Amino acid sequence: MYTEEGEFIDIHKELLPFDQVLEFFKHVEKEGMIKEYCDGANERGRWIFQIYSREFVELLSNVIEKILKGSKHPGPVLEVMSGDGKLSEFLKPLVDRTIITTDAKTGRDNIEHPKWVEEIEAVEANSKYDPSLIIMSWEPFYSTVGVDLVEKGTPLLWIGNPESCAVSSGISEIPSVQIDSEYLLCRHDNFANRKHLSRFRAFLTPIL
């Protein structure tokens, strides 16, 4: 739970099993520190929006592979708005396709972006790389970029809390496949009562 210095551990330092991740966040919740923890009060100062576990990343990788197998498009997988790129880092060993990781790096949140995360806007990245699939996790509150990308026709995997992500964009009204899973966890959840608020949606992927 804690480092030797008394800080909370970084839960995304490595990919951990779901049960271990859930128990950790139940503890942080009991301490009344979820917001602070997710805003960087942890050993690496990491900002956290969606919470990753081994089972969730495996689920996501399976969905990605299914879409790629049903598509004739040879392009890479593109992650936009990737933050510190941790999701791409976890996915790369599991996905048999190049994953390009990008973020606009606006400084809106105090996120430490690795140098290998390319600084580029999402729509521009889509035009540059012509991907076979786009991953977008935690689109900002006022953003309409998800809708813009869906309209361009590339399959999009959208992950986030509909009450906090792109709330006025209309993306929730666009037909999609919602992928329900107990492994969805985010910073707004009630962990003790297992009330999960994030959603995992696939747009323009009829093969699902």
Q: Give the Å distances, CA to CA, from 103 to 12, 17, 43, 117, 203.
A: 19, 27, 23, 7, 21
Q: Compute how many other C-beta atoms are within 10 angstroms of the C-beta atom of residue 13.
A: 12
Every domain of the chain and the residues it spans: 51-203
pLDDT at 139: 97
Q: Kindly give the interhelix angle for 122-129 and 145-152, rounded to the nearest 10 degrees.
A: 20
Lowest mean pLDDT among 43-52, 75-84, 199-208: 199-208
For residue 90, pLDDT over 50 is answered with: yes
Residue owning tokens 């521009």 = 124
CA distance 115 to 99: 15
What is the structure's pLDDT at 111?
86
Q: What is the per-residue pLDDT for 103?
A: 97
Q: Is the pLDDT of residue 208 over 50?
A: no
Q: Does the model's pTM come out above 0.85?
A: yes
Residue 61 structure tokens: 């990788």
Q: List pLDDT tens digits, range 17-49.
A: 999 999 999 999 999 999 999 999 999 999 999
Give the CATH number of domain 51-203; options: 3.40.190.10, 3.40.50.150, 3.30.450.20, 3.40.710.10.
3.40.50.150
